[in-house]
């Protein structure tokens, strides 16, 4: 859905403790999580405002978000 939040804590509430622990103790995880959050926020803003942007830009932003989400997911499920 357009404008839907894909925040890690929204999509994976069962891993909240691990996500918060890794954010506090693992610098790389924290930076990747911050980048993920920023991408998700940017995508939602563009969708909700129906802001003009190229399809290529939106596709790349969503791909980048997915790649980061997969990387973060592997980290907090294996922690």
Domain assignment of residue 68, given as a range? 8-78
Is position 28 within any domain?
yes
- Assess if residue 66 is contained within a domain: yes
Give residue-wise pLDDT tens across range 34-43: 999 999 999 9
pTM: 0.88
Residue 78: strand, helix, or coil: helix
Residue 75, token pair as written in the block: 């980290």
Residue 60 is assigned to a structural domain of this protein: yes
On the question of pLDDT at 53 being above 90, the answer is no
Average pLDDT over residues 12-32: 97
What is the predicted pLDDT for the residue at 79? 84
Please state, in angstroms and rounded to a whole number, the distance separating the CA atoms of residues 23 and 18.
8
Report if residue 1 sits inside a domain. Answer: no
Domains identified in the chain, total number: 1
**How many Cβ atoms are within 10 Å of 39's Cβ, its own excluded?**
20
Please report the pLDDT score of residue 25 as a whole number: 97
């Amino acid at each position: 859905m357009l404008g839907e939040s894909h925040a890690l804590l929204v999509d994976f509430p069962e891993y909240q403790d691990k996500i918060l622990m890794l954010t506090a103790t693992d610098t790389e995880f924290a930076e990747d999580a911050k980048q993920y959050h920023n991408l998700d926020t940017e995508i939602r803003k563009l969708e909700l405002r129906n802001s003009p942007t190229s399809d290529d830009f939106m596709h790349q932003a969503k791909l980048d978000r997915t790649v980061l989400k997969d990387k973060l997911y592997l980290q907090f499920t294996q922690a």
